[in-house]
Amino acid sequence: MRVAIVEDDPDQAALLRLWLSTDGDYDCHLFDDGVKAIKAFQKDSYDLILLDWYMPEMNGLEVLAWIRKNLDWRVPVIFVTQRDDEESLVFALENGADDYVSKPIKSLELKARIRALLRRSYGDKVDENKLLQFGSFCFDIQRKQLFMGQEAITLTQKEFELGLFLFRNAGRLMSRAHLLESVWGHSAELNTRTLDTHISRLRKKMHLGEAVGWRLTSVYHHGYRLETI
């Protein structure tokens, strides 16, 4: 999972990244002010955002307003703040925040809140013995096989993983970096041509288009979106 940490205190930001990176499930990206964060959000995608309240240039509420106006509504935002008065926290929640943690932050509490929000937003992790159905497509997780109706579609391992990731995130605009890191590894440093080649193969092998009710579109300077037709 890709996490954006928007925090102007470098020590606090480093501590948050250490806590989450230690679990192995989170790839953290740090931004020390709201303006830098928004520039990143315009070209990249994230699964969750940790947002400080007090920051230079733009405060957390201003960044939150931009997020809710411009990003996928499913991306959860957790406020990390020293403020603990009920009026402020209710205002933040009513204006788009999903949760908040008060400083000083407790590691286990933060991780528990993050896991709960990610489950609510994207569902549980894939069960290795599960069959996942998306319209006429069925992903057999255990055998790493894809079926369209009764017909098996031959995919490489990475094509299968990429296809499954796209279908589990259908409707979301996913950046190239997000897709590379999620399918090829946290520190993937592959040429984006690798991703584009796999996308092209998926389109052809799965016959994505009106006939099957799904389309996979390229968004210039950003990434890809899989959606129903």
Q: What is the pLDDT of residue 102?
A: 85
Residues of the chain predicted below pLDDT 50: none
CATH 1.10.10.10 in the chain, residues? Answer: 131-228
- Contact of 114 with 133, CB cutoff 8 Å: no
Whole-angstrom Cα Rg for the chain:
19
Residue 96 exposed, middle or buried by CB count within 10 Å (0-12, 13-18, 19+): middle
Q: What is the pLDDT of residue 125?
A: 62
CATH 3.40.50.2300 in the chain, residues? Answer: 2-122
CATH number among 1.20.58.220, 3.30.390.30, 2.60.40.10, 1.10.10.10, domain 131-228 = 1.10.10.10
Separation in Å, CA 118 to CA 37, 70, 123:
20, 20, 7
Q: How many CA atoms lie within 13 A of 81 on its CB side?
A: 21
Q: What is the CATH number of domain 2-122?
A: 3.40.50.2300
First and final C-alpha spacing in the chain: 27
- Contact of 66 with 51, CB cutoff 8 Å: no
Q: What is the pLDDT of residue 126?
A: 57
3-state SS assignment for residue 39: helix
Q: Kindly report the pTM of this predicted structure.
A: 0.81
Q: What is the pLDDT of residue 95?
A: 84
